Structure 1
Amino acid sequence: MTHHFTCRVYYEDTDLAGIVYHANYLKFIERARSEMVREAGISQSALKAEQGIVFAVRRMEMDFIAPARFEDDLRVETCLTGVKGASFDLEQVVWRGDERIYAAQVQVVCLAESGRAVRIPADIRQKLVTFQQ
């Protein structure tokens, strides 16, 4: 199942040329990832408070295909492409209508308070696979 998140480009998201500043795509896809995890039934604040673990981006590969502009309506599609012991991989694609304008391959790792990678708890893993491709 693919998760869908919509957002609009605001003036503050753009640069002097009137296109979305490259770093703002990270905000769009971060919001989409957070909403996907939430819709999977995982409270990241409860996970931290109760089990002392958090999710953090470990690696990301991005492809800027076409620029988004002020007032564009965007859709971020996120799907889980793999789960390992302490990490999971996602593909995130930003669309403007039927046009694919940005894509990212993201690896998220599960960290303990010490900053060391730890296995994703079985119940959390089961919830995440709801969005597996």
Structure 2
Amino acid sequence: MTKPGTSHDTFKQGPQDWLCQTAGATAPSGGSEPHAVGSVAAIFQWPVRVYWEDTDAGGIVFYANYLKFFERSRTEWLRSLGIEQQQLKDSTGGMFVVTETTLRYHRPARLDDQLTVTASMIEIGRASMIIKQQALLKTEQSGEPSATLLCEGTIRIGWVHGASLQPGRIPASILDSLKT
């Protein structure tokens, strides 16, 4: 079992294990325009097990629950960078909000499936960022040589002032953490 906040080269088998692997990407600094992150970005992975509450009457994961899985992965990714969202709101008065999602479903997940849910930055600007996310069925369950893609999407996250919910600029210290 691993501790959040550490990096590993391979994904372990336990339900609490996760991976944050860096593959040489760097994000540009400065400027107010959005910047595409390097062609090979850091990929954060978080394990998710499918429970009864996640499934529909047909016994497969209800489509909207993939958004919940993606939210968990993004939240844990932020934590791995030292960004706690409640503490961030308390200290800055601002917060991240989802402003746009695009999802594509490839295959269903079922009860007790063990998934790996990824998050990787593909673009970052002064007021928003775009995260690519995937839900993958672990190779041990799929019988395939690599994990099976179940759902993928892009999520645009914007920064707003907590009291007014008006758009604002992401604080420089947070931008620096996100670009590492």
Same fold (TM over 0.5): yes
Deviation at 1:68, TM superposition (A): 0.4
CA distance in 2, matches of 1:72, 1:14: 11
Which amino acid is the alignment partner of residue 149 of structure 2?
A: R
Mark the structure with the bigger radius of gyration: 2
1:91-115 deviations in whole A, cap 9, x for unaligned?
0001002101100100000100211
In the alignment, is residue 86 of structure 1 matched against residue 150 of structure 2? no
Q: Which has the higher contact order (CA 8 A, sep 6+)?
A: 1
Unaligned runs of 5+ residues in structure 1 are: none
Aligned length: 130
Q: What SS does the corresponding residue of 1:22 show, helix, strand or coil?
A: coil
Higher helix proportion = 1
Q: What is the CA distance between 1:23 and its match in structure 2?
A: 1.1
SS at match of 1:93: strand
Superposition deviation, residue 50 in structure 1: 1.3
Per the alignment, residue 6 of structure 1 pairs with 47
Cα RMSD after superposing both structures:
0.8
Q: Extract structure 1 runs of 4+ deviating beyond 4 A.
A: none
After superposition, residues 90-109 of structure 1 pair within 5 angstroms as 90-97=131-138, 98-109=147-158
Please name the residue that 2:117 is paired with.
76
- Residue 50 of structure 1 aligns to a residue whose secondary structure is helix
Letter in 1 for 2:135: V
Q: TM-score, normalised by structure 2?
A: 0.71
AA aligned to 2:159 is C
CA offset at residue 47 of structure 1?
1.3
Identity %: 35
Matched, 1:39 2:80: yes
**Residue type matched to 2:67 in 1?**
L
Query: TM-score scaled by structure 1?
Result: 0.95
| Structure 2: gaps (5+ residues) | 1-41, 139-146
User: Per residue, is there more strand in 1 or in 2?
Assistant: 1
Q: Residue in 2 aligned with 1:118?
A: 168
